Amino acid sequence: MDGEVERRSSTRSPFVVEVLKTVFYAFLIAAFIRTFLFQPFNIPSGSMENTLLVGDYLFVSKFAYGYSNHSLPWSPDLFKGRVWSAPPERGDVVVFRLPVRPWEDYIKRVVGLPGDRVQMIDGVLHINGEPCKMERVEDYVATDPYGSEVRIARYRETFPNGASHYVLDSEPDADGADDTQEFVVPAGHYFMMGDNRDHSNDSRMADSGVGFVPEENLVGRADIIFFSTDGSAQIWEIWKWPAAFRYGRFFHSID
């Protein structure tokens, strides 16, 4: 009898060891992918509508701009600057660490590069003294908290490098958002703005905590939406999931 127990114990031990090894290796692979390749990120606010919606889940390319302390979990102070650095292009949608609260992630669009002069005049973005092309397109249709349909003016904005995207103008006379001073972007920094121009805390706002974003604060480029939900179903409400998923946004590339 004792021999049978020993045989059972000996056969279980290798199995348990193999399971633990598999879990450990899977953890290492996942940690490597998240740290050096792709990091998942979800959209908590409407500052990037309608490019990104609350409930979108993204993959952020960590290797697009090289690596800094902020590329690593918990931002350990291991080195200065960036390694294998590549600058973002105007128009990239970027996840970065907020300069005043470096543990907090923000997502915005790169509007100004180092040395650029950036200014909003009557709701039109000016870069180095030239207005960006603004083409009026069909309204963006949203739903307010009471379930009513809301129509918001939408434009296609085109940067000097040809990159274009949609922006929303919900409050044409918004104080401090549509008319600003001229900002000169310092070397090694970037000017960020949200696509929902009147509902975005970004580099235009003195009290937003964003300001000019140092290049070492860049986490990565937002490349693709892999999942999206409208928030109408709680995680335990499995029967509501099919109606809550925004299938048309699954695996949707980000412009």
Could you list the active site residues?
47, 108
Contacts of 146 (CB under 8 A, 6+ apart): none
Q: Is the peptide bond before 50 cis (omega within 30 degrees of 0)?
A: yes
CB neighbours of residue 115 within 10 Å: 11
Q: Residue 207, SS3?
A: coil
- The pairing of beta strand 38-42 with beta strand 56-61: antiparallel
Residue 149 tokens read as: 């349909």
With CA atoms as reference, report the closest residue to 223 among 251, 247, 242.
251
**Whether the Cβ atoms of residue 211 and residue 15 lie closer than 8 Å to each other:** no
Distance CA 2, CA 192 (A): 71
- The pairing of beta strand 218-228 with beta strand 252-253: antiparallel
